[in-house]
Structure 1
Amino acid sequence: MTSAPSRKNDPQAVRSRLLDCAARLIVDHGLSTLRLESVAREAGVSKGGLLHHYPGKEALISGLFDQVVEWFDCQVDAVLEADEASPARFSRAYLRVIASIDMTVPEEKRLAVLILMLSSDPQCSAQWSNWVEGRLRRHNLTDANPLARTLRLAADGLWLSDLGSGPDSQPAARREVLRFLEGLNAAHATDTNPDVRGR
């Protein structure tokens, strides 16, 4: 005789539910107000069950941040695969992923706001810096220039606007900014490509 597995026998599902609830609470109420008891209650598990998977608040936040960075990394890779042009390749993908986030879609808004909130935590800020630095080492031949840095800083500015839900968070405004910056990128590519200049 077999019985249906209980929720506690599916640790991956429990971890996923805990992270999802923690994300929702952080976005709704802020990182500083996050309490393990609230996350456990929201996820429908005991505090002891939560501590079994994440032995403290720092571990929970770190796990959540890892999840967000993994998602972002996959999005950047997807844009890179579709973009074979070389100048500022990574930085352009970084910008496109951030500019394409639709703040009217709850899941995408959560990711955009969450990573900004978590980046105010010193440990998470260090993790994010390590990810960016790792990417820049991989793309050193194409992204070690002022244009690439400008594109990344503009993308970070969009995320900062998201945090305050400002007028620039609207999809139309983001598309306008992206078109303008990609125009700069195209002009830069023309100016630095001798074959194009010679035509």
Structure 2
Amino acid sequence: MMIKPQRKNNPAALRLKLLDSAAKLIVDHGLPTLTLENVAREAGVSKGGLLHHYNSKDALIGGLFDMVVDWFDSQVEEVIVLDETRPARFSRAYLQVVANIDMSVPAEKRLAVLILMLSSNPHFCARWNSWVDERLQRHHTTDASPMARTLRLAADGLWLSDLGGGPDSVASTRSDILQFLETIDTGPTTPKPNADKGGQ
């Protein structure tokens, strides 16, 4: 009797394919097009196959959000300086990752846009804020200064510019911004003493 060779399943690869298909639908056509049927069709699997890995649309979106946060976290860890005393250590890396996202590369564009789009949902916004808060607690000795906060807000501004295709999304402009911010003192600031009442 001839025994048919069994095809080895690769659940991790299929989950990644499903998430990538969901990301493509959202970025190319908007959140309303994200249905289980559309994702299954885009990925070339049955709806039952999709439900085996993500039993609801919410579960799929949750997996998608986890994927992009994990990606962003890994990028920050790659570029963060080893010197744990460097001022604004985490915030510099945060800005560098955002500024170096290549919006002409589909995979990077999807990840950058997805974080912004999904973070507009209160639930995912809270999860994103939790990620940022955890990193700030980890780097509290270097990233509590007003300048460190400014670097992170500059990064968020670049993301918004990318989402709208603004003029500041040009690579040369980003390079100028990074060079300018590198010239600014990012060390801790010393609070000014309170003036005595009555001018005394």
**Which TM-score band (shorter chain)?**
0.7 to 0.9
Q: Check the 8 A contact 2:95/2:155 in 1, yes or no.
A: yes
What is the aligned partner in structure 2 of residue 183 from structure 1? 183
Q: Check the 8 A contact 1:31/1:118 in 2, yes or no.
A: no
> What is the CA–CA distance in structure 2 between the aligned matches of 1:167 and 1:44, rounded to whole Å?
37
Q: Check the 8 A contact 2:87/2:188 in 1, yes or no.
A: no
Q: Map 1:1-199 to 2 at 5 A.
A: 1=3, 3-5=5-7, 9-81=9-81, 86-184=86-184, 187-189=185-187
Q: Check the 8 A contact 1:65/1:118 in 2, yes or no.
A: yes
**Percent identity of the aligned residues?**
65
Q: Deviations over 1:126-180 (max 9, x none)?
A: 1111100000000011111100100000000000111111111111111111111
> What is the CA–CA distance in structure 2 between the aligned matches of 1:142 and 1:191, rounded to whole Å?
11
Larger Rg: 2
Q: Deviations over 1:19-78 (max 9, x none)?
A: 010000010111233111000011111111111111111110110110111111111011
Q: TM-score, normalised by structure 2?
A: 0.87
Unaligned segments of structure 2, at least 5 residues: 191-200
Instruction: Report the number of matched residues.
Output: 188
After the TM superposition, which of the residue ranges 166-175 and 141-150 deviates more from structure 2? 166-175
Alpha-carbon shift at residue 116 of structure 1 (Å)? 0.8
Higher helix share: 1
Unaligned segments of structure 1, at least 5 residues: 193-199
Q: TM-score, normalised by structure 1?
A: 0.88
Alpha-carbon shift at residue 83 of structure 1 (Å)? 5.7
Alpha-carbon shift at residue 11 of structure 1 (Å)? 1.3
Alpha-carbon shift at residue 190 of structure 1 (Å)? 10
> What is the CA–CA distance in structure 1 between the aligned matches of 2:187 and 2:175, rounded to whole Å?
21
Alpha-carbon shift at residue 188 of structure 1 (Å)? 4.1
> What's the RMSD between the two structures over aligned residues?
1.9
Q: Check the 8 A contact 1:101/1:112 in 2, yes or no.
A: yes
Alpha-carbon distance change, 119 to 32 in structure 1, aligned in 2, over 3 angstroms: farther
